[in-house]
Amino acid sequence: MALVSSPSLPSADRPNFWPSSFHSPSTAQSSALAGSIRLPLRRLRCPVTASHLCTHDQTLPYSFDRSTLSVAEAFSDDQLWAAACLRVRSFYHFRPSSIGVQDHKRSLAECEFEALKERVAGKRNGFRRVACINATVPLSQISNLSDDLCAACKFLIDGEDRVVVGTLDLNQCMRLPDEITGMKPEGIGADFARAYLSNVCVATELQRNGLGYALVAKSKLVAQEWGISDLYVHVAVNNEPAKKLYMKSGFVYESDEPTWQARFLDRPRRILLWTGLPGAMRQRHYAEVSSSFSADSNTRKNQNPNPSNSRQSDEALDPDPELSASPRSVFALCLAFRIVNALLLQTYFNPDEHWQALEVAHYIVFGYGHLTWEWKKGIRSYLHPLLFALLYKVLAFLGLDTPWIMIKAPRLLQSTFSGVGDLYLYKLSLLLFGNCVAKWALFSQLTNWFMFFCFTRTFSNNLETVLTLVSLYYWPCLRPASSKLPFMSRKLGLAIAALTCAIRPTSAIIWLYIGLLELLVARDRLKFILLEVFPIGVLVLGFTFILDRLMYGSWIFVPLNFLKFNFLSSGGDYYGTHKWHWYFTQGFTVMLLTFLPFSIAGIMQSRQWKLSGLIAWVLGLYSLLGHKEFRFVLPVLPIALMFSGYSLAAMCRSVSPDGKMKGSQNIHGKCPPKMQLAIFFLLATNIPMAMYMSLVHQRGTEDVMNHLSKEAVNGNVRSILFLMPCHATPYYSTLHRNIPMRFLDCTPSEDKGIPDESDQFMMDPVGFVTKYAQGWSLPSHIVLFESEEKPLRDFLISHSYREVKRFFHAHFEVDHGLQASVVVYALTSR
C-alpha cells in the first residue's frame, strides 16, 4: 500500500535535519558501501549497493507498539528523503570531531535521494522496475529514543509525524552493478522474473524488533505482484546476523564472489543468496506488465512533480521500458536473420572478401592457394584469416569440405559475428536511449540495404565493425552519467579496441577519438594511460606480433608496414582515387540511402554529439586519403542507423500542447499514419535494393567458380586461365581442387607509369593474348567477360576452344565498362 504524502520541498529547500552533535556508535560499520560509494563525490549519482544490516550488541531491544508499524512502498519525496537519510546514517561512520561533517552527511543524503528518485521513477538504465520499501512508526512511539533518528528520518503524512526505521530496495533487473549475477531463471524472459534486494538497513536503535523480517516479507509480496519468480540478495560473507535473517526468511546459498573481485573493489567478499517465490507466474506478468507499468508511472509522476530532466527526451521515446527484449532473444533473432542473409548472398562485391581472408586460410590449411603481394610485403596480419583457417580445419577433419559447404560455411561463420554486432547495437541503443529506440535502431540495421549486402561477407572490415560496436558499449565516456559501469568495463572496451586495431590498423582512427573523449571525462587519466592503455595495448599487439612471426617465419611488424604503404606512400592510390568529398556526397550517403534524412533528424533530436562527432571524425579523416571504398567507413554506419532508429521512435508518440505524451502506452498499439508511411518508404526502397545487389548484380563471377568447382570434382577441369581484370573471381578457396590456375597479375610496380598485366590486357586484349599464347601450355578452360570475349572469339576458336557456359553478371557498368556476362571456353580435342 502507498501512503499519501504531504507537499514535498525541493531538495535545495529542505531543512537541515542533521543535529550539530551527531555521535555514531564506534562499532557502526560502513563496509557494505566501501567499494561502491566514495566519500569525495563529484556527481549526484549514487550506485545501488548490496544488502547490509548494521549490527551491534544491545542488551535488550527497544520496544514499541507493533500495531503502529507500517511496511509499505514509498513514492513521495518526503518518504524517499527520509529513507536516504537512514541509509547514510546506517552505512557510514563519521567522526564527530571532523570538520564539515554535517555538510558532508547532507551531501551524501542528497546524492542517495536523487539516485533513489531516479530508480523508483524508472529512469535508471538496466532496471525494469524499482520499489523503495520503508518500515515506519509514529514519532510518538520513539520520541524519547534518539533525537538524531527522529530528526533526520522524519516525514509528515495525513497530519501525523512518522519516522522511517527500516528500508530496502526491490530491483527487477538482470543484475546489480558490480555484484554477482543470479542464475535463475534461465532462458528467454529471465529478466522479467528475477529481482534483487539491496540497500537493506534497519535503524540501530530498533534492531532485534523483527523489522528486517517485516521488510523482507513485504518485498516478497511486492515481487510476487510483479510476477517475480526468483529473488536474490547479496550479503557480506562475515555478516552473520544478516545471513541468519535471510536464511530464516527462506534464502539459500547460490554462489560467492571471487576473492580477486572483492579485493579490486576494496570491500568484504559477498555471497549470493536465493529464494523462489511460490505462485509467481511469468505468463500473468507478461499479460499485466503494460497496464501495471502505466499505472505505476502515472502515480510516480503525480507524486514526483519535479523529476530529473537528464533523460527527459529518452523517457518520452521509451513508452514501455518493461517490455524490452532479453539479449538472448535479440541475439537469436539477429542470428537467424543473418544466417538467412548469408545464404541469400550470391554476388561478388570486392576481391578482399576472398583474396585477403579465405584464400589465405585455404593456403594455411590445405597447402595450396594464392597469397597476394600484400602477404609477401608483410602489410597484412594473419589474425583475421586464422579464424577461417580454423573453420576449414574443422570441416576437413569432419570430411565436410565439399564444394557447397566450402562456399557457404565462411559466410555462415561471419553471420554469427554479424549477429553479435547487431546485438550490441541494440544494447548500445538501449543503454543510451531506451527500449523503443533500441528496437527501431535494430530495425534500421536489419533493413538497411548495404548492411544486408555487405555485413555477412568475410571482409576484415565486417569483423572490425562488430568489435567496434562491442567495444563502444563498454566505454565509460559514451555511457549516460546515471548508468553504473559493469565491472572491468573500460579495460574490456580497451582490449577489444586493441584487438580491432590489430585486425585493421586503420581502426586506430576511431579509437583515437574515443580515447581523447575518455581522457576528457576521466578522473584517473594517469592510471588510464599507464595502467590500462599501455599494458593492454602492448599485450594485444605483442600477441599479434608473435602470431605473425610464427606465420611469416620472420619478425614483421604489420601495423608499421601497413602505415608506411597506405599513409606515408599512398600505396592504396594505385587502385584508384576519389575526390575528397566522395564519402559525404556519394559513398556514405549511398550506404545510408533513404535512411539518410532519418539519421540526420535523429542526430539533431537526440543531441548525442559524442557519437555523431565520431561519424564526422571518421568520414573527415578517411576523406584525406586518396583511395576510398564503401567498406572503409562501415564501422560508423550502424551508429548512423541508430540515430535513424531514434527519429523513427520519435514518430511513435505525438506530443500534446502541454508537453505530455499522447497515445497508448502499449508499444503494440497501432503506429501513427506518418510512422506507417515512413516504414513503408524505408522498406520499399531498401528491400528491393538489398535483394538486387545480393542476388543479381555481379553474380556471374561467383556462379562461374561454383560451376567450375563442380566440374573439377567430376574431373572435367585440368587447368584454368582467367583473362579478365585481376582478382575478378574467387580462387582456390572456392574451387577447392589443387589444379593449375593462372590470372593476370596486378602487383603495384615500384616504377610508376608501367602498366601491369591486367592493365595491358584491358588496353589491348587481342595483342596481349597473341603475345601470351606464344609460350603458353594450353589450359583446359578459359574464363573471361563478354566485353573481352567478343574481340577474342576468333582467336579462341582458332585455338580449338568453344563456349561451354555463359553466366549473367551485371546490367550496368561498374569499373571496366559493361561486363554483362561471364563466359567459359573449354578446349576441344584436336
Active site residues: 246
C-alpha cell at 483: 548508468
- Residue 67 has a CB neighbour count (10 Å cut-off) of 6
Selection from 225, 234, 231 nearest residue 198 by Cα: 234
Instruction: Specify which residues 164 forms β-bridges with.
Output: 136
Selection from 542, 541, 333 nearest residue 422 by Cα: 333
CB-based contacts of 459: which residues, under 8 Å, 6+ apart? 350, 352, 353, 357, 631
Give helix 240-248 / helix 211-226 axis angle, nearest 10°. Answer: 50
Question: What does the alpha-carbon distance between residue 155 and residue 14 come to, in Å, rounded to a whole number?
Answer: 12
Instruction: Give me the phi and psi of 88, to 5 degrees please.
Output: -65, -40
Q: Is 783 helix (H, G, I), strand (E, B) or coil?
A: strand
Q: What is the DSSP string of 318-345?
A: -S-GGGPPPHHHHHHHHHHHHHHHHHH-
- Residue 524 has a CB neighbour count (10 Å cut-off) of 11
Strands 661-662 and 654-655, bridge-based pairing: antiparallel
The separation between CA 607 and the C-alpha centre of its own chain, rounded to angstroms, equals 20
Sign of CA dihedral 304, 224, 137, 56: negative
Q: Is 568 helix (H, G, I), strand (E, B) or coil?
A: helix
Q: Which ranges constitute the DSSP H helices of 56-187?
A: 77-91, 101-120, 139-142, 147-152
Helices (H) and strands (E) in the chain, counts: 34, 15
Classify residue 224 as exposed, middle or buried by CB count within 10 Å of its CB (0-12, 13-18, 19+). middle
Contact 500/471 with Cβ under 8 angstroms? yes
Question: What does the alpha-carbon distance between residue 780 and residue 761 come to, in Å, rounded to a whole number?
Answer: 20
Q: Is 70 helix (H, G, I), strand (E, B) or coil?
A: strand
Kindly state the helix (H) or strand (E) to which residue 808 belongs, with its residue range.
Answer: strand 801-808
Selection from 315, 298, 265, 303 nearest residue 480 by Cα: 315
- Residue 676 has a CB neighbour count (10 Å cut-off) of 12
> Distance between terminal CA atoms of the chain?
97
C-alpha cell at 787: 566485353
Question: What does the alpha-carbon distance between residue 23 and residue 567 come to, in Å, rounded to a whole number?
Answer: 67
Classify residue 404 as exposed, middle or buried by CB count within 10 Å of its CB (0-12, 13-18, 19+). exposed
Q: Is 717 helix (H, G, I), strand (E, B) or coil?
A: coil
- Altogether, the residues listed in the chain come to a count of 830
CA 317-591-424 angle, to 5 degrees, is 50
Classify residue 254 as exposed, middle or buried by CB count within 10 Å of its CB (0-12, 13-18, 19+). middle
Selection from 596, 582, 491 nearest residue 539 by Cα: 491
Q: What is the DSSP string of 414-453?
A: HHHHHHHHHHHHHHHHHHHH-HHHHHHHHHHHHH-HHHHH
Instruction: Give me the phi and psi of 391, to 5 degrees please.
Output: -60, -45
